Amino acid sequence: MLFPTLNFGLFFLVVFSVAWALVGHHRLRLAFLTAASYLFYGFWDWRFCALLAASSLGNHLFGRLIFDSPDPQRRKTILTVAIVLNLGCLAVFKYFNFFLESLNELLILLGVGRDLPFLSVLLPVGISFFTFHGISYLVDLYRGTLDRPASALQMLLYISFFPQLVAGPIVRAAHFLPQLRRPVDPAEIPAIRAFLLILGGLFKKVVVANILATELVDPVFRDPQAFGAIDLMLAAYGYAVQIYCDFSAYTDIAIGVAALFGYRFPQNFNQPYRAVGLRDFWRRWHISLSSWLRDYLYISLGGQDRRTRNLMITMLLGGLWHGAAWTFVAWGLLHGAMLVVEHRAAQGRQPLAGWQRGAAVLVTFHLVCLTWILFRAPDLGLALDYLAGFARLSQASQVAQPMVLALLAGGIGAHFLPAGRLDWLERQVATLPRTAQAAALGAAIVLIDRLGPDGVAPFIYFRF
């Protein structure tokens, strides 16, 4: 069930009505939201609901064991076993065939090819996200960031809560579980901001991301050798805007929907293409993942004590988290290497100012676009073909339509709007009568639906 569909609209109306009707019955409300979340997940493949429940209850059990154990050594052992099981589950469903395929290719290269036992497994939607939620719970409990374990019901809902289940944001246990412990306040719903985020998200996904995908990015990436340097450059910019609009749309809608149920999610994007460097970029892009990797992996590895090694490992695993393919490995390693270089170059330097800042934004944006080529290409060969195509300078553009160029300019230009734009817009909307606000909301939903191409493509991050 995709957010920008009538199916989800109907689902939302029913769940919203019942959840608020149960506001005086805290446990019943949690149970209902859990059941609704499993129904939402079951729309993709009901068989994976069992995996989701097993992951939640398994982590709940390990959490209790960690909390109840007075022996520090035993706590460490339990945590290690639990993390290994979580990652093992992820490895089987997401990486087993990838590693086997890579091993098979290596054996063939060495002249000792074998028929290896490939598994025919479907990738459960959102497995990377709910695995990270589970690990977050265990480590937060081990570290004492969480003062007590969740009940089984709270744990089931924390892992499965439908707005963030399949593509984040990655909401930490220490951030979300305290919200599930106390009743929600029906007098304090940030509805205008929630609806603005939802409308903005719908527009970014249905109009900007979908049009750029169909008119520009997909045709060029399908056969890069048929296009010249200008089109390849436009498609790289196009993918940068598309993936931002697609993914930030999902998280904006998730944040807005959760707020309408009385829960707060953290911000996940902060105008990433105005970053003045790669470190700044990762503080603005998919913030919930980058801070998760920083706090649970990079710091755990020793942080800046062995910065080069730890950055490379963190970014390699961050790349692999996105998908089981060598393109993601290369993407992660390239980001890791650039972060190492940037760290070294920045040591002892004054902060950038004036034109240097502008130049840094420009360079960072182009480096990010370059790495997006690896991220988007189906394999390394096609990525190399794409990069080689930048030498075809004389070929005229086939895809530079005015609408595409306008969406590109708008998508990049929006990154340079003032940071408080949402607050300002919210204040303006709040001055309108409630009836006008509601009518505008309904009309805007219809308008966005009619402007987009027919059909809705799945969100890019559903694959991860």
108 counts as binding another protein under rule CB under 8 A = no
Residue 351 tokens read as 């902060």
**Residue 25 known to be catalytic:** no
Cβ neighbours for 55, distance < 8 A, ≥ 6 positions apart: 86, 89, 130, 131, 134, 159
Least separation, in Å, of the C-beta of 358 and another protein? 25
Q: Which is nearer to another protein, 4 or 126 (CB)?
A: 4
For 287, which DSSP code? H
Per-residue binding letters, 109-148, with another protein (x by CB under 8 A) = ------------------------------xx-xxxx---
Q: Which is nearer to another protein, 49 or 405 (CB)?
A: 405
Q: Which is nearer to another protein, 140 or 246 (CB)?
A: 140
For 377, which DSSP code? S
6 counts as binding another protein under rule CB under 8 A = yes
Least separation, in Å, of the C-beta of 447 and another protein? 6
Residue 56 tokens read as 């939640």
295 counts as binding another protein under rule CB under 8 A = yes
Nearest C-alpha neighbor of 445 from the set 197, 190, 203: 203
Per-residue binding letters, 374-403, with another protein (x by CB under 8 A) = ---------------------------xxx
25 counts as binding another protein under rule CB under 8 A = no
Least separation, in Å, of the C-beta of 6 and another protein? 4
Active-site position among 286, 322, 335, 415: 322
81 counts as binding another protein under rule CB under 8 A = no
End-to-end CA distance of the chain: 16
Least separation, in Å, of the C-beta of 378 and another protein? 27
Rounded Cα gap, residues 167 and 172, in angstroms: 14
Answer yes or no: are the C-beta atoms of 227 and 233 closer than 8 Å.
no
Identified binder of another protein from the candidate list 265, 328, 372, 375, rule CB under 8 A: 265
Identified binder of another protein from the candidate list 255, 316, 374, 460, rule CB under 8 A: 255
Answer yes or no: are the C-beta atoms of 232 and 390 closer than 8 Å.
yes
Q: Which region among 283-291, 312-320, 352-360, 408-416 touches another protein (by CB under 8 A)?
A: 283-291
425 counts as binding another protein under rule CB under 8 A = no
12, amino acid identity: F
Q: Which region among 40-48, 79-87, 319-327, 380-388 touches another protein (by CB under 8 A)?
A: 79-87
335, amino acid identity: H
Q: Which is nearer to another protein, 109 or 187 (CB)?
A: 187
Per-residue binding letters, 302-341, with another protein (x by CB under 8 A) = x---------------------------------------
211 counts as binding another protein under rule CB under 8 A = yes
**Residue 343: strand, helix, or coil:** helix
Residue 221 tokens read as 């990436």
Nearest C-alpha neighbor of 199 from the set 20, 440, 454, 380: 440
Cβ neighbours for 358, distance < 8 A, ≥ 6 positions apart: none
446 counts as binding another protein under rule CB under 8 A = yes
Q: Which is nearer to another protein, 172 or 335 (CB)?
A: 172
Quickly list DSSP for 111-136: T----------PPPTTHHHHHHHHHH
168, amino acid identity: G
Rounded Cα gap, residues 410 and 108, in angstroms: 49
Identified binder of another protein from the candidate list 28, 103, 121, 430, rule CB under 8 A: 430
Half-sphere exposure of 399 (CA within 13 A, CB side): 28
Rounded Cα gap, residues 354 and 157, in angstroms: 48
Residues with a catalytic annotation lie at 322
